[in-house]
Amino acid sequence: MKKIEAVIRPERLDHVKGALEEMGCLGMTVTEVRGRGSQGGIERQWRGRKYRVDLLPKIKLCIVIEEKQVKAVVDTILESAYTGEIGDGKIFISSVEQVIRVRTKEEEGSHNE
Ligand X SMILES: Nc1ncnc2c1ncn2[C@@H]1O[C@H](COP(=O)(O)OP(=O)(O)OP(=O)(O)O)[C@@H](O)[C@H]1O
Q: Can you give the binding site for Mg ion, defined by CB under 5 A?
A: 37, 39, 86-87
Residues that bind ligand X (CB under 6 A): 7, 35-39, 56, 58, 86-90
- Helix H or strand E segment including 59: strand 56-65
Nearer to Mg ion, 65 or 89 (CB): 89
Smallest separation (angstroms) from ligand X to the CB of 31:
11
Nearer to ligand X, 35 or 109 (CB): 35
User: In one letter, which amino acid is 76?
Assistant: T
Smallest separation (angstroms) from Mg ion to the CB of 89:
9
What distances in angstroms separate CA 65 from CA 25, 41, 50, 110, one per listed residue?
9, 31, 44, 12
Nearer to ligand X, 22 or 32 (CB): 32
From ligand X, Mg ion, none, which one binds at residue 88 (CB under 5 to 8 Å depending on kind)? Answer: ligand X
Distance from C-alpha of 113 to C-alpha of 107, rounded to nearest angstrom? 12
User: In one letter, which amino acid is 6?
Assistant: A
User: In one letter, which amino acid is 70?
Assistant: V
Smallest separation (angstroms) from Mg ion to the CB of 96:
27
CB proximity list for 111: less than 8 A, separation 6 or greater: none
